[in-house]
């Protein structure tokens, strides 16, 4: 592991230099909210942001992405033959991604890159992307990453971790991809291990006071949790608006839809949401998750139980707090996690008796 | 060509070689497809019980069980009920039209495990497609010795609603398969059983034992009344095999909608034993 010091006065110069080899994405403020976007040639990432309203997952998993193309013109020899859209494999870097969002990419990868099937649009985008993280020294009150398998200085999914100092960034080069980016940006002022790094890390972790308990989720019985009476209460206020799944960095569900213009068409992969009745509606009219309660239960069971059981990677949540901040009726995943973690069917029966 | 193997979203191009109306009410048609590109048929190597996404450019995709059998070469067939956007569009398509097939997808009936066993198949209505694939597979001269007794209970509302009727009549005549065809109410010229599938199963199906497996495919109402019958006949839940359906998009376990608990019907299924189904939330 290598530590490099980047003088803040040299920061934008380094980024400019890196643009010769990379397309840059970074946090930018628009209309009072931060979001990740492709940076214009002279545009700088706003490194003073706390976190973005939407997660940067769209850079690798766009909200709407054309994947298949075809001609419907019968004069074309290959009309109605469906072909893959070309996949952009040019190198790109996300500058200033928070450790929680970087970790979420590793969770999404469990879905899109499996031994049986690989989503080439995801796999190639991920391979082309370098993740340059920005450690969090000033977390929000709704951040609970330290108990969600993550942390303000968490390195999983990152190629470089930047720690802000008074006059400089301390860059921890974590991977070969990170090494290559540092080289392209001219970040070569290697420095000795700095105590400040650990001190800052501990201070940042101490600032995160909100936590979830997840230790008992794996022991819970799927069918007991599924049949638990608390879901009616938990889902009562939900509007099924889908804001939680839309803002969540780990939600991966999608839809496939064809769109035709004139004689040519494309098939799109679009974000979808378990909050919507159409997600599971059968053509017969039967809907296995036809009620609001069933859909809310699906979201939390997927994140906090099915995922936990299926993969050995903890919960499907990195503690970024976006859904907590943005839910219009204040449904809080931390509360529900607690209920699920401590649920005891025996006690429920005892009360009912 | 390489692209197809690597990219699970891109279908193999196929040409509609034949379309046959499959039921008297014309709600079902059987489509026979041939692959446009040499080599694709080999890549689309499947087992009885699997499904595929039928893909129509400009319209969309629909998951349908494969009705042809692995022992039939040169084509694949699917029997399609006219129900939603894609299937209704398909019912208006013509021989020679080009579309796509993605797959094969999902798991299949556990043929390794079924070797040497007696097989009972219970089917209802148009959920007979993968059972047809299975029967043709088992009756293949090379495969027939691998299985014990084969019993098939298949019911439909009327004689004209039974799928693959010519084949059913042929199988009736054979002595290496016991057919128990049934229709809901008596009809002229019908010489077989009359009554719903569950009671006919109770009367005609062999007793369940360690060497006998039941494969059940049908509408929910048939399944509901058939399972108690099978239990009564002595079929244990690990020897009752079912094929589930759910709304699907990708068909290979990524888009997330067909989940029943931690299992995805498209990738971990569609074939499950009743034992396995009993461990999952009833969200299908």
Q: Which of B3, B11, B256 sits opposite A252 (nearest CB)?
A: B256
Name the one residue in this structure whose structure tokens are 């080999």: B42
Give yes or no for residue A141 having a pLDDT over 70.
yes
In this structure, are A200 and A232 located in the same domain?
Answer: no
Look at residues A207, A230, A254 and tell me which one is the last residue of a structural domain: A207
Using only the alpha carbons of chain A, give its radius of gyration: 22
| Interfacial B residues in 224-243 facing A (CB < 8 Å) | none
Q: Is A264 helix (H, G, I), strand (E, B) or coil?
A: strand
Segments of chain B with pLDDT less than 50: 1-5
The mean per-residue pLDDT over the stretch A91-104 comes to 98
Q: Alpha-carbon distance A52 to A29, whole Å?
A: 9
In this structure, are A19 and A128 located in the same domain?
Answer: yes
A214 inside domain: no
Minimal CA–CA distance to A43: which of A58, A25, A63? A25
What are A71's strand-pairing partners? A264
Q: Which CATH number fits domain B111-243: 3.40.50.80, 3.40.50.1980, 3.30.110.40, 3.40.50.970?
A: 3.40.50.80
Q: Evaluate whether B134 touches B48 at the Cβ level (below 8 Å).
A: yes
Q: Alpha-carbon distance A142 to A332, whole Å?
A: 10
What is the separation of C-alpha A85 from the centre of its chain, rounded to a whole number of angstroms?
Answer: 24
A154 inside domain: yes
Per-residue pLDDT, A193: 75
* Distance spanning both ends of chain A, measured CA to CA: 60
CATH superfamily to which B2-104 belongs: Translation factors (2.40.30.10)
**Count of Cβ atoms closer than 10 Å to residue A290 Cβ:** 14
Minimal CA–CA distance to A256: which of A265, A245, A264? A265
Cα dihedral across residues A316, A319, A321, A324: positive or negative: positive
pTM (2 decimals)?
0.94
Minimal CA–CA distance to B105: which of B148, B160, B65, B55? B65
Residue B84 contacts A where some CB pair is shorter than 8 Å = yes
Q: Alpha-carbon distance B256 to B264, whole Å?
A: 8
In this structure, are A196 and A240 located in the same domain?
Answer: no
Residues in A closer than 8 angstroms to B100, CB to CB, are 80-82
Minimal CA–CA distance to B152: which of B166, B135, B169? B135
| Interfacial B residues in 3-42 facing A (CB < 8 Å) | 3, 6-11, 13, 36
Element (H, E) at A117: none
What are B251's strand-pairing partners? none
Burial code (b: 16+ CB inside 10 Å, e: under 16) for B184-220 equals: eeeeeeeebbebbbbebbbebbbebeeebbbbbbbee
Q: Please give the residue range of the domain that contains residue A112.
A: 2-63+86-207
B198-227 tens-digit pLDDT: 999 999 999 999 999 999 999 888 999 999
In the DSSP assignment, the letter for residue B7 is -
Q: In chain A, what percentage of residues exceed pLDDT 70?
A: 98
Nearest CA distance, B167 vs chain A (angstrom): 29
Across the interface, whether the CB atoms of A223 and B279 are under 8 A apart is answered yes
- Taking CA–CA distances from B53, the nearest residue in chain A reads A256
Per-residue pLDDT, A196: 78
In this structure, are A193 and A293 located in the same domain?
Answer: no
B65-86 tens-digit pLDDT: 999 999 999 999 999 999 999 9
In this structure, what are the phi and psi dihedrals at residue B102, rounded to the nearest 5 degrees? -105, 130
Q: Alpha-carbon distance A236 to A331, whole Å?
A: 10
Across the interface, whether the CB atoms of A272 and B247 are under 8 A apart is answered no
Look at residues A207, A239, A264 and tell me which one is the last residue of a structural domain: A207
ipTM over 0.95: no
User: Exposed, middle or buried, B111 (CB in 10 Å: 0-12/13-18/19+)?
Assistant: middle
Q: How confident is the model at residue A348 (pLDDT cuts 50, 70, 90)?
A: low
- Taking CA–CA distances from B14, the nearest residue in chain A reads A81
For chain A, the domain total comes to 2
In this structure, are A110 and A245 located in the same domain?
Answer: no
Neighbouring residues of A96: CB distance < 8 A, sequence distance ≥ 6: A26, A27, A45, A46, A47, A49, A132, A133, A134, A162
What number of residues does chain B have?
284
Structure token digits, residue B202: 């109770």
Name the one residue in this structure whose structure tokens are 């396995």: B276
In this structure, are A237 and A335 located in the same domain?
Answer: yes
Residues in A closer than 8 angstroms to B245, CB to CB, are 282
A70 inside domain: no
Element (H, E) at B165: helix B165-173
Per-residue pLDDT, B2: 40
A68 inside domain: no
In this structure, are A143 and A181 located in the same domain?
Answer: yes
A353 inside domain: no
Q: Cis before residue B270, ω within 30 degrees of 0?
A: yes
Side by side, the strands of the sheet bearing A2-7 are A2-7, A168-173, A160-164, A129-134, A92-97, A23-30, A33-38
Q: Evaluate whether B153 touches B197 at the Cβ level (below 8 Å).
A: yes
Q: Evaluate whether B133 touches B69 at the Cβ level (below 8 Å).
A: yes
Structure token digits, residue A88: 């952009």
Q: How confident is the model at residue A195 (pLDDT cuts 50, 70, 90)?
A: confident
In this structure, are A36 and A177 located in the same domain?
Answer: yes
In this structure, are A174 and A255 located in the same domain?
Answer: no
In this structure, are A50 and A179 located in the same domain?
Answer: yes
Minimal CA–CA distance to B49: which of B125, B152, B132? B132
Name the one residue in this structure whose structure tokens are 């097939």: B101
In the DSSP assignment, the letter for residue B208 is P
Per-residue pLDDT, A352: 46
In this structure, are A328 and A287 located in the same domain?
Answer: yes
Neighbouring residues of B71: CB distance < 8 A, sequence distance ≥ 6: B136, B137, B140, B142, B143
Minimal CA–CA distance to B49: which of B65, B61, B34, B25? B65
A127 inside domain: yes
In this structure, what are the phi and psi dihedrals at residue A95, rounded to the nearest 5 degrees? -100, 125
Three-class secondary structure assignment of B52-84: EEEEECCCEEEEEECCCCCCCCCCEEEEEECCC
Burial code (b: 16+ CB inside 10 Å, e: under 16) for B156-178 equals: bbebebbbbbeebeebeeeeebb
Task: Write down the domain spans for chain B.
Answer: 2-104, 111-243
Q: Alpha-carbon distance A175 to A160, whole Å?
A: 7
A109 inside domain: yes
User: Exposed, middle or buried, A79 (CB in 10 Å: 0-12/13-18/19+)?
Assistant: middle
Mean of the per-residue pLDDT values for chain A?
95
Q: How confident is the model at residue A347 (pLDDT cuts 50, 70, 90)?
A: confident
Residue B256 contacts A where some CB pair is shorter than 8 Å = yes
Per-residue pLDDT, A353: 44
Given phi > 0 = left and psi -120 to 50 = alpha, else beta, which region is B104? beta
Look at residues A175, A207, A239 and tell me which one is the last residue of a structural domain: A207
Per-residue pLDDT, A198: 86
In this structure, are A335 and A287 located in the same domain?
Answer: yes
Structure token digits, residue A345: 């069917």
């Amino acid at each position: 592991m290598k530590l490099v010091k980047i003088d803040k006065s040299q920061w934008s110069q380094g980024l400019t230099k890196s643009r010769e080899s990379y397309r840059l994405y970074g946090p930018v403020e628009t209309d009072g909210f931060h979001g990740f976007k492709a940076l214009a040639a002279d545009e700088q990432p706003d490194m003073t942001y706390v976190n973005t309203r939407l997660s940067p997952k769209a850079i690798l998993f766009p909200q709407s992405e054309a994947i298949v193309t075809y001609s419907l013109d019968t004069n074309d020899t290959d009309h109605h033959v469906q072909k893959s859209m070309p996949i952009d494999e040019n190198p790109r870097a996300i500058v200033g991604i928070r450790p929680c969002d970087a970790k979420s990419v590793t969770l999404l990868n469990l879905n899109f890159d499996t031994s049986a099937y690989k989503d080439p649009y995801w796999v190639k985008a991920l391979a082309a992307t370098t993740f340059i993280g920005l450690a969090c020294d000033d977390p929000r009150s709704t951040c609970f990453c330290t108990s969600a398998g993550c942390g303000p200085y968490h390195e999983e999914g990152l190629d470089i971790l930047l720690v802000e100092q008074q006059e400089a960034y301390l860059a921890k080069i974590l991977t070969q991809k990170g090494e290559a980016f540092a080289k392209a940006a001219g970040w070569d002022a290697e420095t000795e291990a700095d105590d400040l790094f650990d001190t800052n890390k501990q201070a940042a972790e101490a600032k995160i006071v909100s936590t979830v308990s997840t230790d008992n989720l794996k022991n819970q019985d799927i069918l007991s949790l599924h049949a638990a009476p608390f879901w009616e209460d938990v889902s009562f206020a939900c509007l099924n608006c889908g804001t939680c799944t839309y803002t969540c960095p780990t939600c991966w569900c999608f839809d496939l839809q064809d769109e035709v213009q004139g004689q040519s068409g494309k098939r799109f992969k679009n974000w979808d949401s378990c909050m919507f009745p159409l997600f599971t509606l059968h053509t017969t009219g039967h809907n296995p998750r036809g009620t609001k309660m069933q859909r809310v239960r699906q979201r939390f069971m997927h994140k906090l139980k099915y995922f936990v059981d299926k993969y050995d990677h903890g919960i499907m949540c990195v503690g970024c707090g976006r859904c907590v901040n943005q839910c219009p009726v204040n449904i809080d995943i931390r509360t529900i996690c607690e209920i699920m973690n401590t649920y005891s069917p025996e006690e429920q029966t005892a009360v009912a008796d | 060509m390489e692209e197809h193997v690597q990219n699970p979203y891109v279908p193999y191009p196929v040409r509609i070689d034949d379309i046959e109306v499959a039921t008297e009410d014309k709600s079902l048609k059987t489509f026979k497809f041939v692959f446009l590109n040499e080599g694709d048929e080999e890549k689309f190597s499947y087992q009885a019980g699997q499904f595929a996404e039928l893909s129509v450019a400009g319209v969309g995709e629909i998951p349908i069980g494969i009705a042809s059998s692995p022992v039939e070469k040169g084509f694949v067939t699917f029997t399609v009920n006219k129900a939603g956007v894609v299937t209704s569009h398909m019912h208006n398509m013509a021989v020679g039209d080009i579309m796509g097939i993605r797959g094969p997808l999902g798991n299949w009936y556990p043929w390794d495990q079924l070797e040497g066993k007696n097989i009972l198949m219970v089917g209802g209505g148009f959920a007979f497609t993968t059972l047809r694939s299975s029967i043709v597979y088992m009756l293949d001269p090379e495969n027939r010795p691998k299985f014990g007794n084969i019993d098939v209970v298949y019911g439909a509302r009327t004689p004209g609603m039974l799928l693959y009727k010519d084949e059913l009549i042929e199988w009736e005549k054979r002595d290496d398969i016991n057919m128990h065809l049934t229709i809901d109410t008596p009809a002229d010229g019908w010489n077989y059983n009359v009554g719903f599938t569950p009671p006919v199963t109770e009367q005609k199906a062999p007793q369940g034992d360690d060497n006998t497996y039941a494969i059940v495919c049908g509408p929910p109402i048939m399944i509901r009344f058939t399972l108690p019958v099978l239990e009564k006949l002595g079929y244990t839940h690990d020897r009752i095999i079912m094929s589930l359906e759910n709304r699907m998009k990708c068909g290979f376990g990524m888009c997330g909608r067909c989940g029943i608990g931690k299992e995805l019907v498209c990738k971990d299924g569609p074939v499950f034993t009743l034992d396995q189904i009993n461990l999952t939330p009833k969200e299908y």
